[in-house]
Structure 1
Amino acid sequence: MDYRLTYFGFPSVLEGYSDASWITNMEDHSSTSGWVFRLGGGAICWASKKQTCITNSTMESEFVALAAAGKEAERLRNLIYEIPLWPKPVSPISIRCDSAATLANAYSQEKLPFPAQKYRQYGTLLSPHYEEAVVSQFLDQFAESVDLIGRIVEDERDAYRNQLRVQVSRAAEIFTCLRSNKQMMRRNVMAYLRNCGYNAAVCKTKWESSGGLSGGSYEFVDVVRGDSASRYVVDLDFAAEFAIARPARSYECLLQRLPRIYVGTAEELRQILRAASNAARWSMKCGGLILPPWRKHRFMQSKWLGPYRRTTSLISSAANRSNGVKCRAVGFDAAANGGRLVFPAAARTR
């Protein structure tokens, strides 16, 4: 297939697009600026260059890119002035940027950092229509994510999941005194579910660092349905795993839709993770912050959907290795049974 630039002769207004990629070179911690200018429906000038200064945030790198694009816009404007047949005066050149934080600071009346002052020096303007479009896209993304999470959480067509939710809620209420010890609470809830006949276990995921993914481990409860081998994830403090610094108001609305105790299938969880991770990225970008590695989509997927090992032991391996410390499971009928959870010899599997 052949590719080519096509020009239509309209619009006869020069417009530019600017973007930056923060710290793309890990050797010297430099960022990359990029811009393209269009005229007559096609591109007439474009570039991608390494920035010569070190920036401390994505917003600063965006301002540096805008400053470089402003210099190019000034050169193109002077070139247009030299064309005899070009209508005068030349229309203002708009440079469009996709960073909500950069746009907000560019229009602010407060003193701006050096790159922003330098950008204003060249007299180019950000398009207010594009700013509205970015904000509108930002809000639309949040609305779609909130609606998707709401539909998944409120769906009651799965009778097995509905009953499992009831049992998990009862167990969480019984062992609410153990909320400060999440590990012990998970294992007691798992034991309660097994006593109710569910094939429940404490599930531990563990993954290594690779390709920008930070290594880590995580524990939750899972239940395997016997008649279909479907796997249900049970997390007793689910919403807290999505908290971020300085969340946007729209992201706070999304957090309110997330259940504190999650019970659902792995596929439903996959959809929630994708929607919530995208919303977190947008929220951090709006505030001029970088999404931390432990809130990125790949990391969140690894926590619940990565390689895992199941165990039905009431005492964790770490507690077992402790020297001179006797551990016991705390649960219902503890006083009547010498402080131990008692279960039938053979548990049913639903």
Structure 2
Amino acid sequence: MDSLEEKVSVFMCEEFSNESDCNRSLEEYEFEDGSDYGDSTKRNSYWESQETLLQEILERYNSTGSKLREEVGRIIEEAKASEFCSCIEPKYSSDCSNCLRRQVVALLCGRGFKATLCLSQWKHTKKFPGGSHEYIALMASSFTREKQIPFLIELELKEQFQIAKASKKYQKLIWWLPEFYIGKPEYLTAIVRVLCDAAKKSMKEKKIHMGPWRKTSFMQMKWSSGLTQKLSNVDEPVDILASCLRVSAAPA
């Protein structure tokens, strides 16, 4: 079994020089097999290792772009405090996530950020049901302002991993997640893989069938491809990102 640090290094792609090698390593990596999962000692060891691994990933996530994350976080809270719902039949603010995303993008663009909405769409196949998912892409300047750094904003991070009748150990992993994801796509890739594997173990404990929409390859499709959309409620024209951010997605 690889050490925890080696696992984290695989997730963070630190050992590889290009994106294709990084993506391949993420796909080839497999968690410890659960053939002896009925053993309570091994079961507890698994959950402890997953929690530690997730904390390691989140520590690295928090160590990059902290000032930008704080600023974007304040803008999100400002959007939530506003009357952002523009639906024909207004909903409660906590339910209208579509309007909230548009308000966040409008505020970001108004503050000089290069942000846009992205829509991932995938067709129905024998393996997965069709669907779509909307998120926010943002390009931020580096400290030296010499290059642009891609960031991904997911306003409903915890909701993406909620499962019915989850074990307490799995619920604890969800508790560790930030309310919003504001960071580089690769950290989200690592989080998705940890949580999807943990969901599989949780369902196995509860003897619940795991639907294909809970698998890593399906979850990663939510942030793997994009269609850019312009906002009708932005007063000034904004530069639309050439392409939306991409999370390393497993082949369908």
Give the TM-score category using the shorter length: 0.5 to 0.7
Match of 1:207 in 2: 122
Q: 1:135 to 1:219 in 2, by over 3 A?
A: same
- Counterpart Cα distance in 2 of 1:287 and 1:194: 45
Residue range with higher mean Cα deviation, 183-192 or 153-162: 153-162
Match of 1:183 in 2: 98
Give runs of aligned pairs for residues 206-245 of structure 1, distance below 5 A.
Answer: 206-210=121-125, 212-225=127-140, 227=145, 228-245=147-164
- Counterpart Cα distance in 1 of 2:105 and 2:237: 16
Paired residues of 1:213 and 1:298 also in contact (CA < 8 A): no
Q: Which amino acid aligns with 1:213?
A: F
Instruction: Answer yes or no: is 1:173 the counterpart of 2:81.
Output: yes
Identical-pair percentage: 23
Which structure carries more relative contact order (alpha carbon 8 Å, separation 6+)? 2
Give runs of aligned pairs for residues 334-349 of structure 1, distance below 5 A.
Answer: 343-344=235-236
Which residue among 46, 50, 58 is the counterpart of 1:142? 50
Q: Which amino acid aligns with 2:59?
A: R
The total of aligned residue pairs comes to 196
Report the TM-score when normalising by structure 1. Answer: 0.50
Deviation at 1:281, TM superposition (A): 1.1
- Counterpart Cα distance in 2 of 1:207 and 1:175: 32
Q: Which amino acid aligns with 1:207?
A: W
Q: 1:97 to 1:219 in 2, by over 3 A?
A: closer
Q: 1:189 to 1:346 in 2, by over 3 A?
A: closer
Q: Deviations over 1:306-349 (max 9, x none)?
A: 121111223xxxxxxxxxxxxxx5xxxxxxxxxxx6x45678x9
Give runs of aligned pairs for residues 22-61 of structure 1, distance below 5 A.
Answer: none
What stretches of structure 1 of length at least 5 have no aligned partner? 1-95, 101-130, 315-328, 330-340
Q: 1:136 to 1:180 in 2, by over 3 A?
A: closer
Which residue among 186, 198, 202 is the counterpart of 2:113? 198
Paired residues of 2:139 and 2:151 also in contact (CA < 8 A): yes
Instruction: Answer yes or no: is 1:296 the counterpart of 2:215.
Output: yes
Match of 2:228 in 1: 310
Match of 1:274 in 2: 193
Q: Which amino acid aligns with 1:136?
A: N
CA radius of gyration, larger in = 1
Q: Deviations over 1:149-195 (max 9, x none)?
A: 54245435543334333333332333576332221111111111100
Paired residues of 2:55 and 2:176 also in contact (CA < 8 A): no
Deviation at 1:236, TM superposition (A): 1.6
Match of 2:89 in 1: none
Higher strand share: 1
RMSD: 2.8
Deviation at 1:234, TM superposition (A): 1.1
Q: 1:169 to 1:155 in 2, by over 3 A?
A: farther
Q: Deviations over 1:205-227 (max 9, x none)?
A: 01123462332110011112355
Paired residues of 2:157 and 2:179 also in contact (CA < 8 A): yes
Deviation at 1:275, TM superposition (A): 1.1
- Counterpart Cα distance in 2 of 1:289 and 1:203: 33
Q: 1:344 to 1:287 in 2, by over 3 A?
A: same
Runs of 4+ in 1 over 6 A off after TM superposition: none
Paired residues of 2:54 and 2:191 also in contact (CA < 8 A): no
Paired residues of 2:79 and 2:100 also in contact (CA < 8 A): no
Q: Which amino acid aligns with 1:307?
A: S
